[in-house]
Structure formats: structure tokens, C-alpha cells
A and B are shown apart, each in its own frame.
Chain A
Amino acid sequence: MFKKTLAAAALSTLSLQGFAATEIEWWHAMGGALGETVNAMAEEFNASQNDYQITPVFKGSYEETMTAGISAFRAGEAPHIIQIFDAGAATIINARGAAVAVQDVMSDAGYNFDINDYISGVRYFYADENGKMVGMPFNSSTPVLYYNKEALAAAGVQPPATWEEFEDVAQALKDAGYIALSQSHTPWIFFENFHSRHNLQLADADNGFSGLPEKVMYDNDALAAHLTAVKEWKDNGYYGYYGRAWGDNQAAFEQGEVAMWLGSSGSFGGLKQSTDFDFGTTYLPYWESVYEDAGSTFIGGAALFTMAGHSDEEYEAVAAFFDYLTLPETQYFWHRETGYVPITNAAYELAKDDGYYDLNPDAEVGIKQLSLPGAEWTKGYRMGFYVQTREVIYNEMDRLMAGDTTVKKALRTIEKEGNANLKRFARTVQ
């Protein structure tokens, strides 16, 4: 009797195993409403088939998620998918053996992977030196200009397309009682994207794409001129500097103290809720004198990386999930819910055909800017220990705005510390 039961039990476990779904874990940094959208997508994927089961786990901020992933990897308990942010991309892509390229995961599982399906602005940002996509772009945004329509109407001006125009607009806004501009992420907007928009190189080794870079190229005339202008704007009352925190600068715009704000295309949904005035969105301004054909900007945000050390069945599940994630319908849903750009051309077409941008023209600005013609230096950048270099940029900007340093000195410090970070990082991965 006992033997029989045992045999039956063994059989049933066997059969269960045969039908059991492969379970995979996805660590992410999407809190609040974004987290709910992530959960909704995971649930839909799980309900759409019986072979795979994905569990999203919220791990805190971008940095906390990366640190959690690092500790788990060192302990041999890495999740299958982890979300890593732009400044941390170098940390995982350069560590040979930490991640498996998403392109390989997809091809090995038999999916058709064509990098050209992805919109040009996101295509190579998380790719390796051979142009192979390592991280799957997930939440992608880009810096855009938001403007308070009432404020601009009161001053009788149009939103500026170039920084040259901005200087005229700013005086009119000042006369109307507004501070013209604030922005929320100095390194991202005034350093990295400044170089992309003006097609300027920002690090050696092809911005870090063809090898480990050793030199940051921020100490250049174009950036120096820009920062000098920004400091002048601040002294003239055109530019409001509320410290480095994202929210403090955004709040000044929301409160109607500042008329225009440079933020993320992903800020759109939040602004809709937090403002009680009509606002519009337009491209990130550029200096006509530096580069007339101002081009595409970089993306910000994060990508999904597949971590090494799992079984083939589990990678199949990961591939199936990525396949679901890149479906035009999924991307369109994500785009609508969050304001992040759709990452594939097909999803962008779907949104257009659906008439989404007729109703919400502002929602298209980010993706249009990312689809502007790219040039040599608009592909992306990859720098080691870049989180620390950004910290130096933030600190030097604080000092510059407080009048404790000069543009020349600040840029020199940024280059010196940035170079030291690059060299240190290069030695850790060799």
C-alpha cells in the first residue's frame, strides 16, 4: 500500500514537473505608478501562456537595484533579469561574464532578432563594441523643454528652439515676472546630451564604445561657452538654480515661479497631474553657432540585462518575455501609461496609426527628438565609474553657481577626476 502511494506520488511529481512553468525573476527599480504598470505587464505575460512564469520584484532606486543585483551575483543567486540605469551600464557591460547579451538570448531561443527594428536613438545605447545589443532598452526617455503656455503668452514670446533665441525670450519673461528657466539633471542635460545634440565627442575610444576609455573630453570650448552663458543667465535672473535635486527644480516650474523647465520626456504624466496651467513640450534647445543641424539626443532611463549563470530553459523564458515586451501592443501600452518612448519602430507606427499623437502631440516630442538624424557622436557613451564622475559634475556645478569656482577650473576638475575614475575602472575589469 505504502509503496503504491509512494509510486503514485513520484509519478504525480514527475508529471507535474513536466507541466510546471519555468519561473524567472525580474528585479526592477520602478516604484509607484510605474511599478503597477510593470506588474500589469508581468501578469499579462503570465496569463498569455502556460510555459513561463515571471515574477517582478521592486528593489528600490536604480542604485539600490544595481547593488542588490551585484550582491546577489556574488552570492550566486542573481535574478534572471535586472534593470540597470544608463550611468551603470558600463559597470555591467564591461564586466565580462556578468550579463548575457540580449541579442544572443533571443537568437538562441529561436526568435528573429533584428537590431534595426529598434528606433535609432535607443538602438546602440546598450550595445557592445561590435554593435551587439547587450541590454534590452526598457524605460527610455530623453531631455525635452517644457514651457508654461500662460507665462509665454503673458510675455508675448514663443518657446525658443535655440539658446541664441532663449536669451531674447528670457528677458521678456523676466519683464513679465518669471524666471525663464530651470533644469533638473545637470550631467544628463547640460553635459551628456549637450554633446549629443551638438555632435561632439565626449570620451576617447569612440565615447567608450570601442574599448575602455581613458579620457573624458568635457573641457572643450563649446561646453565652456555654454556653462559661462548659464552662469550669466543665473546672474541676470534668467536661470533659476535650486540645487541639484531633481524635484526642487521641477517644483519651481510647477509652482509657476519658473516659465520653462528642462526635464525628462518621461516627466510628462507627472506634470499633467501636478500643474494647474497649460503647458507645452518642445525639443531641447541647442546653440546654432556650435552645430546648425542639431541632432538626436541620448536616451536616459534604464535597460533590462540578462544575468549569467542560469539554465537554458530559464533563458528560453527570458527570451519569451523579451519577445512579449517588444510587441508593438506592449510597447504602446507602456508608452501610454508612463510617457517613456516606445522602443521599436513598429510600436511607434502603431501609436501614430491609433491617433494617439493627434490627441497628445506633446507625447511625441521625445520620440521625435530621438528619431532626428543621428551623427557620429549621437550613438551613446560608456564610461566606467560614471556615477562618481556625475557626482563630481554635480558638485562642481553647485560651486560654479555659488560663485566658488570658475568655468575653466570646474571643467578641469571634472576632467581630472573623470579621467582618474576611468583609469581606475579600467584596471578593475582587466
Chain B
Amino acid sequence: MAKKVQFAHTWVPYVFIAPQLLIIGVFFFWPALQALYLSFMLEDPWGLSSTFVWFENYQTLFTSADYLSTTLFTLGYSFAVVVLSLGIALILAVKANAVLHGQKTYRLLLTWVYAVAPAVAGITAYFLFNRHIGVFYDAIVSTGWLFAPETSTFDATVLLILVSVWKQIPVNFVFFLAGLQSIPVTVREAAQMDCESPTRRFWTITFPLLAPTAFFLMVINITYAFFDTFGLIDTLTQGRPAGSTSTMVYKVYQDGFLGADLGLSSAQSVVLMILVMALVMVQFRFVERRIHY
């Protein structure tokens, strides 16, 4: 006769997860619900009067040309940051992994930028690329490119992508390097016997084995490009020129915190929340399927 195992104290696991649930509830669900609620209201900033306006805030948002260009910029910018920072970090990791002498020094030099906070990175870049005192500014101008990120959308975008990528490479590098080192030596040796071309070996053996790391990093990098670059933008361009380097997160801040328009700003947070959820879902549904852990 089969014995049925039953735990009598079913409340015990809930007690254990309660602190975590509480934290998620207070710091995620509550603000998210609050944002959802406010996005349907037209409210004065002091909370003295508020009117329920259904979808008016969303309507204002979706008919605004500015918001459309901000969304497009966010997507393009995020794509560039993710692709470039993953690509460069992968090359660096593969090369650093192959270095025999002074390996530690290389790794340290490639990693330390990780410790720089986005806002600090933004300020540093501001000084380096400043037209009056910037060392890099002089270097760029000496090539004949009249670099002017204050007035040129293209230059400002290039600058922003450059600094964002620079800031993100170390994280990707560390993870890629760890991923490379976890590939068993036996597998690599076996591959070496079967195939002479290192490029081919990389794409057929190494890269598929790195895929779980790469997938994880992609999710992390998209989140970075969407949210963590706020500090960079706030110190470097503040959306200039003409609001063309504002990301969706920065616009939430501009309208809500600077402009005190809570309804419109909340509607933007909700749109952003849905967009990121959709992106992550797409990734898990279509990309993760092709990955074998």
C-alpha cells in the first residue's frame, strides 16, 4: 500500500516567504497599483482635487508626437546599447581568456569601470567631452568633425551611446569570462581535434555553450538601457537637444517630478511597465527556447 506523505503544517512555508512577499508587495505591487490608479486621474499635484478621466491621459500620450519620438529613440538607443555592449564584451572576454601572461591585470582593467556609478560616469564624460575643457572634445574636433552634442541630435546620441556602452561592458565581460571558463577543457580539446578553424569552433561549440549566459545578459542589458541609464542622461544631456535624447524613463521624470503632472507621468510609467513586460515575455518565449542549458 502506497503511503501518502502529507505535511500537516501548511502555514510554515508561507511564514518563510512572508518577508519576501512583503517586500515585493510594498516596493513593487503597491507603487505599481498606485501608478495604475493615478494614470486614470487628473489630479493637482498637492492632492487637493482629483477627477477620474478614464483613458484621457493615455489618449494625450498616444496623440503626442513628442512621445512617439521618445519611444522610438528609447527603442533604437536600447538596441544599440545592448548589441554593442554585448558584442564588444564578448570579443574582450574571448581574447582575455586566451591571454596566458598577465591575465589578472587584463581582467582587472576591464572590470573596474563596473564600480563607477552611472551619474559619476555621466559627469566624467561631461568633462571629457566639454567644448571648453574636454580632452576628448579636442581630439574629436582635430579629426575635422565639428562635435557639438549640445546642439546636434546625432552627436548627442553618439555620445550617450558611447558612454552607456563603456559603462556596461565590464558587467558583460565578467559574465562572459565566467561562462567561457566554465566550458569543460575536454569539450574544447575534443573540438580542437575535430576542427582546425578557431572561428568555426567558436560559433559551433563555444557560442552555443555560452548561450545561457548571453541570454541572461540580454535581459539584464535591456533593463539597463531602459532604466539604469537615467543617471547618465540626467548628468550628460538631460534630453538635449530638443528633447531628442530623452528616454521613456527620463520623460516620466520630466513630466512627473519636474512638471508635477502626476496623471500623465503615471500613464507613461504604466506604458513603460507593459512594454518591458512584453519584451521580457517575448524573450523568454522565443529566444529561450533555442537555448540549451
Contact = CB atoms under 8 A, between A and B. Distances in A.
Interface of A: 63-64, 66-67, 70, 73-74, 88, 91-92, 94-98, 241-245, 248, 251-252, 255, 385, 387-388, 391, 394-396, 398-399, 401-402, 404, 424, 427-430
20 contacts: A63-B257, A64-B257, A67-B257, A67-B258, A73-B47, A92-B46, A94-B44, A244-B240, A244-B241, A385-B259, A388-B259, A391-B259, A395-B242, A395-B243, A398-B240, A401-B151, A402-B151, A402-B153, A402-B242, A428-B44
Given A391-B243, A395-B243, A242 B44 contact: no
B240 A243 contact: yes
Contact of A91 (B240, B242, B260): B260
Contacts of A388: 255, 259, 261
A398 B153 CA distance: 10
Given A243-B240, A428-B49, A398 B44 contact: no
Contacts of A424: 42, 60, 261, 264
A430 B44 CA distance: 9
A187 B151 CA distance: 17
B254 interface: yes
Contact of A398 (B50, B241, B260): B241
B132 interface: yes
Contacts of B42: 424, 427-428
B150 interface: yes
Contact of B49 (A73, A88, A92, A429): A429
The 3 A-B residue pairs with the shortest CB-CB distance, nearest first, are A243-B150, A398-B242, A398-B241
B38 to A, nearest CB: 12
Contacts of B142: none
B211 to A, nearest CB: 43
A67 B47 contact: no
B51 interface: yes
B131 interface: yes
A402 B43 contact: no
Interface in B235-254: 238, 240-243, 254
B103 interface: no
A70 B260 contact: yes
B247 to A, nearest CB: 15
A391 B258 CA distance: 10
B241 A243 contact: yes
Interface of B: 42-51, 60, 131-132, 148, 150-153, 238, 240-243, 254-255, 257-261, 263-264
Contacts of A399: 242
Contacts of B152: 402
A238 B258 CA distance: 33
A242 B137 CA distance: 14
Name B's interface SS.
loop
Nearest to B151: A243
A94 B240 CA distance: 30
Nearest to A64: B257
A430 B258 contact: no
Contacts of A385: 259-261
Given A74-B46, A251-B132, A395-B242, A241 B151 contact: yes
A98 B151 contact: no
A366 B190 CA distance: 81
Contacts, number: 95
Contact of B44 (A64, A248, A391, A429): A429
Given A245-B240, A402-B151, A424-B42, A74 B257 contact: no
Contacts of B60: 424
Given A245-B240, A395-B242, A95 B260 contact: no
Contact of B241 (A92, A95, A402): A402
Contacts of A91: 45, 260
A396 B60 CA distance: 20
B258 A387 contact: yes
B45 A95 contact: yes
A242 B131 contact: yes
Contacts of A242: 131, 150-151
A63 B258 contact: yes
B242 to A, nearest CB: 4
A82 to B, nearest CB: 12
B30 to A, nearest CB: 15
A73 B153 CA distance: 39
Contacts of A398: 151, 240-242
Contacts of A94: 44
Contacts of A245: 150, 238, 240
B258 to A, nearest CB: 5
Q: Which of B60, B151, B153, B264 has the most CB of A within 10 A?
A: B151
Nearest to B152: A402
A74 B47 contact: yes
A394 B148 CA distance: 17
A404 B151 CA distance: 11
B240 A95 contact: no
| Residue among B47, B51, B257, B258 with the highest chain A CB neighbour number at 10 A | B258
Contacts of A66: 260
A99 B153 CA distance: 41
Contact of A70 (B45, B255, B263): B45
A424 B42 CA distance: 8
Given A243-B150, A251-B132, A398-B151, A387 B260 contact: yes
B222 to A, nearest CB: 27
A398 B152 CA distance: 9
